[in-house]
């Protein structure tokens, strides 16, 4: 989940990515290590994935704050997180992004996590502590990625997946980069709009319409960061006009398109997640 606000000094952050990022479809990982742990204040921005953030920092570690909630350490952050900030002294962390159809099986709790956060221990129980212990026992990111892949894969195959029609609808939403309609998605799987809406919402924790908005925003934000003008981004991403793009960017980030275009989190995002669909 990309950050905005007052980020850490990215020049002091080492970023590691798996050598085989496509080994587990719908799952991506990145490791972050600050050579000198420092205080950060980061606003979390909506991204089309559920995020597992495993805090491997020593001492205080990462602190998360949202209205009415205060958590420390490893957390699960759902889709559309709202007003959520991360702070504290960050040293090392492993971030795992799960596409919603995968998260529903891996977490067995994705619908309850949409727009919220929860301690990883509340979701995974003792497995969360065991994972942290194993990850802390090695400083090698390759070994850490292998350990995390093993744990996630085991949980993925131990639980009932979402319905094939729901998974296909999510994939089509990603493939279209949010340039689609709910009616079209429903027709593609042979369901009516009402049935798709109900099944999608109950199994992924987000409505098809909000999923379309989220995927479209993510694509637009990265186009803005590569230097595309707001007017051309609005046209390419299927917004009604530039004002529509402005409203959506404001809703997801609290920023204007011009501010998003130079946001440091987008630059670091492309380093950490080089194989993500845009």
Residue 205's pLDDT is what?
86
Confidence of residue 89 (pLDDT cuts 50, 70, 90): low
3-state helix, strand, coil in the chain (%, to 5): 45, 20, 30
Please indicate whether residue 257 or residue 89 has the higher confidence score (pLDDT). Answer: 257
**C-alpha span between 49 and 26 (Å, rounded):** 9
Please indicate whether residue 3 or residue 242 has the higher confidence score (pLDDT). Answer: 242
Residue 115 pLDDT more than 80? Answer: no
**What average pLDDT score do residues 104-121 get?**
76
Residue 20 pLDDT more than 60? Answer: yes
Contact between 50 and 124 under an 8 Å Cβ cutoff? The reply is: no
pLDDT tens-digit profile of 34-70?
A: 766 566 666 677 788 898 989 898 766 677 777 667 7
Residue 201's pLDDT is what?
92
Confidence of residue 278 (pLDDT cuts 50, 70, 90): very low
Residue 133 pLDDT more than 80? Answer: yes
**C-alpha span between 23 and 133 (Å, rounded):** 23
pLDDT tens-digit profile of 157-206?
A: 888 889 999 999 999 999 999 999 999 999 999 999 999 999 999 999 89
Residue 12 pLDDT more than 50? Answer: yes
CB-count exposure of residue 242 (10 Å: 0-12, 13-18, 19+)? middle
**What average pLDDT score do residues 85-104 get?**
82
Residue 160's pLDDT is what?
81
Residue 15's pLDDT is what?
86
Residue 92 pLDDT more than 80? Answer: yes
Mean pLDDT of the chain: 84
Confidence of residue 88 (pLDDT cuts 50, 70, 90): low
- Scan for tokens 């993500």, then name that residue: 276
Residues of the chain above pLDDT 90, percent: 44
Residue ranges of the alpha helices (H) in 97-241? 100-106, 110-113, 120-124, 126-136, 141-157, 164-175, 182-188, 193-204, 208-225, 230-237
Confidence of residue 132 (pLDDT cuts 50, 70, 90): very high
Q: Could you say which DSSP state residue 246 is in?
A: H
Domains in the chain, start-ordered, CATH in brackets? Answer: 3-157 (2.60.120), 164-272 (1.10.10.60)
């Amino acid at each position: 989940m990309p950050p905005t606000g007052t980020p850490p000094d990215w020049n002091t952050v080492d970023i590691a990515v798996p050598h085989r990022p496509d080994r587990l479809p719908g799952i991506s990982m990145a490791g972050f290590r600050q050579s000198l742990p420092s205080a950060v204040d980061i606003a979390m921005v909506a991204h089309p994935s559920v995020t597992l953030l495993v805090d491997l920092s020593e001492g205080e570690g990462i602190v998360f704050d949202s209205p009415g909630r205060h958590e420390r350490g490893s957390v699960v952050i759902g889709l559309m997180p709202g007003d959520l900030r991360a702070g504290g002294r960050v040293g090392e962390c492993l971030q795992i992004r799960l596409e919603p159809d995968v998260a529903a099986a891996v977490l067995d709790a994705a619908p309850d996590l949409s727009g919220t956060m929860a301690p990883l221990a509340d979701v995974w129980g003792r497995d969360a502590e065991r994972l942290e212990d194993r990850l802390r026992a090695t400083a090698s990111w390759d070994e850490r990625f292998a350990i995390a892949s093993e744990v996630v894969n085991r949980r993925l195959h131990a639980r009932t997946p979402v319905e094939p029609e729901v998974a296909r609808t999510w994939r089509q939403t990603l493939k279209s980069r949010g340039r689609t309609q709910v009616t079209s998605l429903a027709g593609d799987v042979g369901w009516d709009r009402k049935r798709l809406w109900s099944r999608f919402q109950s199994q992924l924790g987000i409505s098809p319409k909000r999923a379309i908005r989220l995927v479209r925003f993510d694509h637009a934000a990265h186009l803005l960061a590569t230097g595309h003008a707001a007017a051309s981004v609005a046209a390419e991403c299927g917004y009604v006009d530039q004002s529509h793009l402005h409203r959506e960017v404001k809703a997801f980030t609290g920023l204007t398109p011009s501010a998003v275009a130079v946001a440091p989190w987008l630059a670091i995002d492309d380093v950490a997640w080089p194989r993500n669909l845009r």
